[in-house]
Homo-oligomer: A and B are copies of this chain.
């Protein structure tokens, strides 16, 4: 025995009989096809929920994806480095992110009592590193990035690599003298991401998105369209506008009818579910109804969000406006306390001053509109600004966009799509340099200035799973050649026949000598059908077969195509070289 056999195998080659984590015939059925195929094909295996082993085949694919990302990041001027995985908690406290991100972080205390968090993102770590140096405007811009394990204390993991608790992320951070310089880099990273995903055979849409606990003013997700994607976004037909539902804007275009003020009236209307029913009952157009939703923040503040009844509230937009990390619907008790009524009858007439009112701009210029009366079972109609309630100094956009709404351009309609977020780019601005000490550089005049920042992430495992989502058929994975575990899947049939066996091994060595990556299915006991099924499941781009029937030739078939051809050795290597060099 011993680990070496008469056939040497190096990094580029593998004997299927020796492959660790060979394909498994049956696994518990997964709803997500990439989870199914990657586990069945022997690419990954789950440890605990949301934490995966990468098996030899999965390692190779992941490594190739990493190399493509690295290549493009280096070309774009990035420099690879790496931070420790355990970040001192004190740094997260410095930016208050221990609170804003708290549910996704896990605290860890070492035996000396030092507190750490396993890194989710690493903005503080990079700022903390840079402030150890005396940097000047000549050192800027800087774009530094790492591939490293990231941790998210997700409440629910999804099947496979799409939403996990541990994963490799490429995270880059850029530092600039000012916004103008940053904007060039934002475009540079945008273009770089487009190139990266194109090289990975993924078509992406850059979608405006919410920045979550990362901070900053704006950001874009790179989404791959998919039915199973968790990102719902709205896009115009020409793609000129694309935004995640969390942040999507639309043209509200509410007619401001300059009606005569009618007398305000309290009307009974018990248990109406929905504005349509209410409007019908009150005999007013739906556009005259109003939604007033009460929320509570983490500090106990009560907020009334007010919007034209035809729209819904977007809680993410609302959170940003009020600067809250956590927002939840007010409890029935709170509603009763501040409005005096049961849930369903809130308005803003006679609300106590402790309640902060945020009004959507769909409220602007309205006349004779309805609101809850803050009295159980009652609604007030014909409310008017100036006469009945004060017009606020400022209106906001807190409306949830919906498919079919008019895009911000005022012309096109918004279309709904679902996507998998494989990357994102964030403007951070002065978010971190304002909060962290000495996040500064010396300018040309010797003055200390805060630097302007951005950050840029790609989830490597999720990208891998997304490639499978987009590149598979009913038999298995159809890897793009640049990320396939091996270029060639070599099958020997009739291997009991020593003449055939010698032929296959000769070809195996020739491929090896030519530096071609090959997985050789050398099993003697497996039937042809089983070998073909394995090849289809694993999904390497080129299947080569040698058997009694192929005589002096080799059968060539591309994965994903049905046609196969018999080639001579010379023809084979010509075709392979052509494939490698294009």
* CA–CA, A188 and B59, complex, Å: 24
Question: Known: A11-B70, A20-B142, A59-B80. Contact between A166 and B85, CB under 8 A?
Answer: yes
* CA–CA, A51 and B18, complex, Å: 37
Tell me, rounded to whole Å, the shortest Cβ–Cβ distance linking A14 to chain B: 8
A83 contacts B by Cβ under 8 Å: yes
Interface residues in A95-117 (C-beta closer than 8 Å to B): 103, 106, 108-112, 114, 116
Closest B residue to A126 using CB positions? B53
A83 partner, pick from B10, B53, B76, B144, beta carbons under 8 A: B53
* CA–CA, A138 and B523, complex, Å: 11
A403 contacts B by Cβ under 8 Å: no
Question: Known: A53-B82, A108-B108. Contact between A77 and B47, CB under 8 A?
Answer: no
CB neighbours (8 Å) of A86 from chain B are 48, 51, 118, 151, 165-166
Closest B residue to A42 using CB positions? B133
Question: Known: A74-B11, A103-B111. Contact between A143 and B3, CB under 8 A?
Answer: yes
Mark contacts of A47-71 with chain B using CB atoms, 8 A cut-off: 1 yes-contact digit, 0 otherwise: 1100111111011000000000011
Copies in the complex: 2
* CA–CA, A56 and B87, complex, Å: 20
* CA–CA, A24 and B422, complex, Å: 38
A4 contacts B by Cβ under 8 Å: yes
* CA–CA, A76 and B45, complex, Å: 25
Tell me, rounded to whole Å, the shortest Cβ–Cβ distance linking A459 to chain B: 16
The size of the chain A interface, using a CB distance under 8 A, is 77
A181 contacts B by Cβ under 8 Å: yes
Mark contacts of A7-24 with chain B using CB atoms, 8 A cut-off: 1 yes-contact digit, 0 otherwise: 011110010011111001
A149 contacts B by Cβ under 8 Å: yes
Closest B residue to A58 using CB positions? B81
A303 contacts B by Cβ under 8 Å: no
Tell me, rounded to whole Å, the shortest Cβ–Cβ distance linking A5 to chain B: 8
CB neighbours (8 Å) of A3 from chain B are 76-78, 141, 143, 174, 184-185, 188
* CA–CA, A125 and B18, complex, Å: 20
Mark contacts of A375-418 with chain B using CB atoms, 8 A cut-off: 1 yes-contact digit, 0 otherwise: 00000000000000000000000000000000000000000000
* CA–CA, A103 and B106, complex, Å: 20
Tell me, rounded to whole Å, the shortest Cβ–Cβ distance linking A118 to chain B: 8
CB neighbours (8 Å) of A444 from chain B are none
* CA–CA, A39 and B76, complex, Å: 27
Mark contacts of A140-175 with chain B using CB atoms, 8 A cut-off: 1 yes-contact digit, 0 otherwise: 111110000101010100000000011000000010
Question: Known: A52-B84, A79-B19, A85-B85. Contact between A111 and B188, CB under 8 A?
Answer: no
Question: Known: A74-B10, A128-B47. Contact between A79 and B20, CB under 8 A?
Answer: yes
A75 contacts B by Cβ under 8 Å: yes
CB neighbours (8 Å) of A11 from chain B are 70-71, 74
CB neighbours (8 Å) of A80 from chain B are 56, 59
Let me know if B132 and A45 touch, CB within 8 A: yes
CB neighbours (8 Å) of A579 from chain B are none
Interface residues of A (CB under 8 A from B): 1-4, 8-11, 14, 17-21, 24, 45, 47-48, 51-56, 58-59, 70-71, 74-88, 103, 106, 108-112, 114, 116, 118, 125, 128-129, 132-133, 138, 140-144, 149, 151, 153, 155, 165-166, 174, 176-177, 181, 184-185, 188
28 contacts between A and B (CB under 8 A): A2-B184, A3-B76, A3-B78, A3-B185, A8-B75, A10-B71, A17-B138, A19-B79, A21-B81, A47-B83, A48-B86, A48-B88, A48-B116, A53-B81, A53-B83, A53-B84, A53-B125, A54-B82, A56-B79, A56-B144, A59-B82, A84-B166, A85-B149, A86-B151, A103-B111, A110-B165, A111-B153, A118-B118
